[in-house]
Structure 1
Amino acid sequence: RDSTTDKSAECCGYPVSIFFIVVNEFCERFSYYGMRAVLVLYFRYFLRWDDDLATSIYHAFVALCYLTPILGAIVADSWLGKFKTIIYLSIVYAIGQIVMAVSAINDITDANRDGTPDNMAVHVTLAMIGLILIAFGTGGIKPCVSAFGGDQFADHQTRQRSTFFSVFYLCINAGSLLSTLITPILRGQECGIHTQQKCYPLAFGVPAALMVVSLIVFIAGSGMYIKAAPQGNIMLDVCNCIGFAIKNRFRHRSKRYPKREHWLDWANEKYNKLLIAQIKMVLKVLFLYIPLPMFWTLFDQKGSRWTFQATTMDGTFGTLILQPDQMQTVNPILILTLVPIMDRVVYPLIRKCGFNFSPLKRMTVGMFLAAMAFVSAALVQIQIDKTLPVFPSSTESQLKIVNMASSQMEVTISPHDPIVLESFRSRLKASDYMTLPNSTITVSLNTNPPIIKMFPLSERQRHTLIIPADPNTAYVTFDITSKPEQGSNAISISNSVKSCTFSKMFRFGAAYTFLIPSTLNLTDNCGASVVEVEDIKPNTVHMALQIPQYFLITAGEVVFSVTGLEFSYSQAPSNMKAVLQAGWLFTVAVGNFIVLIVAELAKLPDQWAEYVLFASLLVAVCIIFSIMAYFYTYINPAEIEAQFMQGDEIDPEDKEKKAIELKSKDFVQQQNEQVGKTKM
């Protein structure tokens, strides 16, 4: 504790300082998850990267966010302390969010036809700088804020401390839920300086503002905080001990040196036996971590592949229209629902039935549930693929014909059979697209006299042949050759008059052409004279079909993540919880790197096949983990530590310090069980 502050001001038995910390955490989590919710769509539809590159960069960013906590913990515990680390890295964090908002501003008047800004290199550079700053900011403060909150309580405030952690992590999930609902709505607004487009500056700007508010709130409570001085970082001690053992072992490779029971025993010359025994316990748990990254490989694709999947689905829920990136809110909602159900209903019921549902068995079940979630996603993708249009290949073109003349028309396009089209006033749809080679086509119109015209077609393009009231003026237009972006609609108007107002209800993912006769009398009913041509059918697979996969992945998260942290902490020494926390976060980072590698290397032609690949990999890893779990022997770290404390090799001061640590083990366990129930 800070020598100048023995006790902070209290309100209702709680330190006033914790209210600043709770608000700070809510705003920070809102900022992070709000930005992350729309990030993959920003890559895909603003920076114009393809799905694989957008997915790769998204997961590289998430991986970096889970690597930097190790750096933050070392800096806080060894040099700056938690308070200064939070302040400095929050400034870095806020700057990163602001840079991201600026990177999404497209003020170029002559933007390309597809909306891509001409100075793309500037936007990409700013985005990458912003993401790196955010990753160092959010990752660096992650291990500091909750521990700093715990520092505010006196030893007699155990109950208040427990309540604080519950509220603290409720704020994490609340910030995640609200931001994932709100920022997609902000993204969906139309804004722009010169051209109207999806409002990514606003979607990134609001999280940036919340991060600034988070920093201001945290600084506002500065005078009330209890600030513990840096005590040294146990992770550095662990790494140094392991490094010395390896170095010493290879230094004494001669046979005249007797073998030792464990390779870590080669550190006995420099480190005490208690520390070596503690590291052995930690390494035993870290060995079980080896298969775990595969779970996170699947889990974190909620924000990438599953969001892309939602853009090809129908998000109409009655009067509520859900944006594709808003489907991610299902996860925090289910977390808040499933955690108490599992703790108070499912697990007790399993115990009453006499089953030994051990922690490692729970984790195995969690991995299997995540694999089943991707099987469910594959089944949904197969249904979506059946509804997607077939676009022309590199050697093909596609053409449909619309008859706007006042009479029936027979049209022949060699080598196809003649097509009979009803007149414009018959209110019939246009012909379906026909696939043609990339060449100039000859069109014969059965008029009196017959009309023969030639039109060039472009490769990989869709075209519409429009036959006006005067067939001699027939012409060809270009249609879009992809699903409308972000699950929205695409509209084109042909032969529009000076003023014509009509209403139309559009559906997700559809593309339409509206044909308005050039001879339209404006005194007529405009809407009745306009013909709607459906170029691309709307999304017909409903987003509700994603709910089963979200339920399975979230149930897997609750069983796997919560249980995994509780198991890890129960099997490790009380002074090395941070080491295991770092190891756990490292598995998340590795899992996201695996997505990056698979997305770039697999290149499977069908998305459902990639889902099945990931599910198969996790099932295989699940089997390996279950075998490792079968041979694992549970230990009681407190008993092992107590045995070593009886030895003469421990300094008396170290014994006293260790006894205090063991005494407080129950509290540490309680605190860290709360950590397991959160969205980290």
Structure 2
Amino acid sequence: MATSIPGVEAAGKTWLGHPRGLFLLFFAEMWERFSYYGMRAILIFYLTKHFLFGEDRAYLLYGAYTSLVYITPVIGGYLADRFLGPRKAVLVGGVFIAIGHFLIAITEGPGGQDGFYLNGFYLALASIIVGTGFLKANISVLVGELYPRDDARRDPAFSIFYMGINVGGMMGPIICGLLGELYGWSWGFGAAGVGMLLGLIMFVWLKPWLLGKGEPPAPAQLRAPVAAGLSQEWTIYLGAALGVVAIWLVIRYAELLGYALLGFAALTVLYIVWRTMKTLGKVDRDRMFAALFLIALNPLFWGLFEQTGSSLNIFTDRNVDRVLFGWEVPASMFQSVNSVFIILLAPLFAVLWTILDKRRLEPSSPAKFGIGLILCGAGFLVLVAGAAMAGENLTPVLFVFLIYLFHTMAELCFSPVGLSAMTRLSVPSMVGLVMGTWFLAMAAGNFIAGLIARATGSGDAGGGTQVLDVYSRIGWFAIVVGGLVLLVSPYIKRLMHLDLIASEDKP
């Protein structure tokens, strides 16, 4: 492993067979996810215990925040495609995120719904949302730019990158949660800001490791003045600041966001279809339709997977024997199981895809999606079977670990593979927009997850039977859809035109 001071002369070196830039992005994203999941872990308690919101209002604000976090990458991806390039977009996004976390920390106030401190809190959330819009989609684009489109290391690279997300997702709730609960909310949110700041420092200091990737498409145009002496670049940054103000106003009307989300998603997909039909040749058009097929499966998968934080969490609390070594483990602690499994399994999946590729047995991206849906459905059915075996007794905790194991394997067949496919199938002028649409589809999935959770009736006492009935139905549904995806995957693979990518990427 190289130990020299980073610089241009060392830019071509690799670690573990991958460009060193992958590991820069690994750690930058790890710290960003540390800040996000750390803040998210204490957000609902901050709303109910500090601002004294009722649960209905708190859940509404929480849902508005998480939805907007997934919507804004569409805009951030578009601005990176057309103007900034992904590297500058990631940098400015990290700055807005860090400002937001520190703003929450310094505007804690005495508690209760004091207008000044509450508005400061809304402004901080808006800053994090805008920053995530710039950073989230574009850091994945940077990973894709480190590899040729036909490089067999792409999927393993995204699996490694995805592991970094989960390392941050595991550490954030532990550190920020403990600080927030034991020493005060500002300590927890401040720790989240420090995490993002560490990620920014690494991203700037180790810039040469990116090998010049992710730069603006037209640097001279970006520096040209466009209004009041401001360059195009700084005009975009000013627009982002105004976007913070706009979201600050919108987030207080959280009940409208569900409808706005669906409408925005539909318009975005229609725009991509229109632009694809109007501007692209047959091969690129086929690839874009293959990408849209994969995006269409995204809401279904995340609608099922995201039961972990809602109905599955409630089921674990009420219907599972959580006593381990004489201690009853709080249900919320099981939320870390997914991240632990990701950390353990992501390297194994990266090796698995590489071995299968060498033997020409690796499933295509759409086939992996089908496998992921089948595994996700099987996880629900395993939990249902465990509860049936327990009868009138509490469900053994083993089956909670098993559903997380199945869902983690499903996630590894889905999310890193999807991130890789979006960068591989998109034309360069649309890759940020398509990546943003991928995250927009995830936002729709989170909305669907709420509808499924509501259907389980898990908010009512004794709702375990109804939860299991819903889990049985969605489990079989996911397996059937996954089987259908496997059936059509050869056709979708042909649309991807993978055989032409190597020749297209040659200079």
Identify the TM-score tier after normalising by the shorter chain.
0.5 to 0.7
> How far apart, CA to CA, are the structure 2 residues paired with 1:369 and 1:25?
27
The residue number in structure 2 matching 1:62 is 66
Distance (whole Å) between structure 2 residues aligned to residue 220 and residue 294 of structure 1:
39
Residue number in structure 2 paired with 1:278: 284
Q: How far, CA to CA, are the matches of 1:241 and 1:342 in structure 2?
A: 32
Determine if contact 1:56/1:597 at 8 Å carries over to the other structure: no
Please report the TM-score for the alignment, with normalisation by the length of structure 2. Answer: 0.67
What's 1:10 paired with? 10
Counterparts of 1:298 and 1:288, CA distance in 2: 16
Match of 2:215 among 216, 228, 247: 228
Alignment of 1:82-97 (within 5 A): 82-97=86-101
Q: Deviations over 1:211-244 (max 9, x none)?
A: 2333344344569974722259xxx999778447
Residue of structure 2 equivalent to 1:202: 187
- Checking the alignment, whether the CA contact within 8 Å between 1:57 and 1:596 is kept in structure 2 is no
Q: Which amino acid letter does the alignment assign opposite residue 477 of structure 2? A: A
Asked whether the 8 Å contact 2:376–2:478 carries over to 1, the reply is no
Give me the CA root mean square deviation. Answer: 5.1
Letter in 2 for 1:92: F
Q: Distance in 1 between matches of 2:46 and 2:387?
A: 22
Residue 333 of structure 1 aligns with an amino acid whose one-letter code is V
**How big is the shift at 1:548?**
2.2
Q: Distance in 2 between matches of 1:20 and 1:572?
A: 24
After TM superposition, give the deviation of residue 370 of structure 1 in Å.
2.4
Residues 376-525 of structure 1: pairs in structure 2 closer than 5 A? none
SS in structure 2 of the partner of residue 290 of structure 1: helix
1:212 aligns with 2:197: yes
Residues 20-169 of structure 1 aligned to structure 2 (within 5 Å): 23-43=27-47, 45-47=49-51, 54=58, 57-102=61-106, 105=108, 107=110, 117-119=111-113, 125-148=119-142, 168-169=161-162
Matching residue within 551, 569, 579 for 2:405: 551
Instruction: Quote how far apart the aligned CAs of 1:331 are.
Output: 0.9
2:170 equivalent in structure 1: 177
Aligned-residue sequence identity (percent) comes to 23
> What is aligned with 1:491?
none
The structure where helix makes up a greater share of residues is 2
**Paired residues of 1:77 and 1:231 also in contact (CA < 8 A):** no
Aligned partner of 1:593: which letter? F
CA distance in 2, matches of 1:150, 1:358: 17
Q: 1:356 to 1:343 in 2, by over 3 A?
A: closer
For the Cα contact (< 8 Å) 1:56–1:595, is it kept in 2?
no
Q: Residues 587 and 338 (structure 1 numbering): CA distance in 2 closer, same or farther, change over 3 Å?
A: same
Aligned partner letter, 1:228: E
Structure 1 position 119, deviation (Å) = 2.6
Distance 1:218 1:288, change over 3 A: closer
The residue number in structure 1 matching 2:476 is 619
Instruction: Judge conservation of contact 1:367–1:622 (CA < 8 Å) in 2.
Output: yes
SS at match of 1:663: coil
Deviation of 1:62 after TM superposition, in Å, equals: 2.9
Alignment match, 1:370: 376
Matched, 1:328 2:335: yes
| Distance (Å, rounded) in 1 between the aligned partners of 2:157 and 2:369 | 28
Do 2:24 and 2:206's aligned partners in 1 also have CA atoms closer than 8 Å? yes
CA separation in 2, counterparts of 1:137 and 1:229? 18
Identify the residue that residue 303 of structure 1 maps to in structure 2.
309
Change (3 A) 1:610 1:99: farther
Look up the SS of the partner of 1:118 in the other structure: coil
Partner secondary structure for residue 289 of structure 2: helix
Please give the secondary structure, in 2, of the residue aligned with 1:589: helix
Q: Aligned partner of 1:98: which letter?
A: F
**What's the offset of the Cα at 1:357?**
6.7
Q: Quote the residue 2:440 is aligned against.
A: 586
Deviations 1:626-662 (A, max 9, x none): 44653451444686996xxxxxxxxxxxxxxx98743
Q: 1: CA distance between counterparts of 2:208 and 2:420?
A: 35
Shift of the 209–345 alpha-carbon distance from structure 1 to 2, 3 Å rule, reads closer
Larger Rg: 1
Aligned to 1:495: none
User: Per the alignment, do residues 28 and 635 of structure 1 end up closer, same or farther by CA in structure 2, a change over 3 Å counting?
Assistant: closer
Q: Which moved more, 1:576-585 or 1:158-167?
A: 158-167
Q: Secondary structure at the match of 2:193?
A: helix
Per-residue deviation, 1:296: 0.2
AA aligned to 1:555 is M
Deviations 1:591-643 (A, max 9, x none): 0112344556886635432464355245335534544653451444686996x
Deviation for aligned residue 1:340: 4.5
Cα 1:101/1:383, change in 2 over 3 Å: farther
1:337 aligns with 2:356: no
Read off the aligned partner of 2:187 and give its amino acid letter: L
Query: Which deviates more, 199-208 or 375-384?
Result: 375-384
Q: How many residues align?
A: 441
Greater RCO, 1 or 2 (C-alpha within 8 Å, sep 6+)? 2
Structure 1 383/37 Cα, relative in aligned 2: closer, same or farther at 3 Å? farther
1:163 deviates by: 9.8
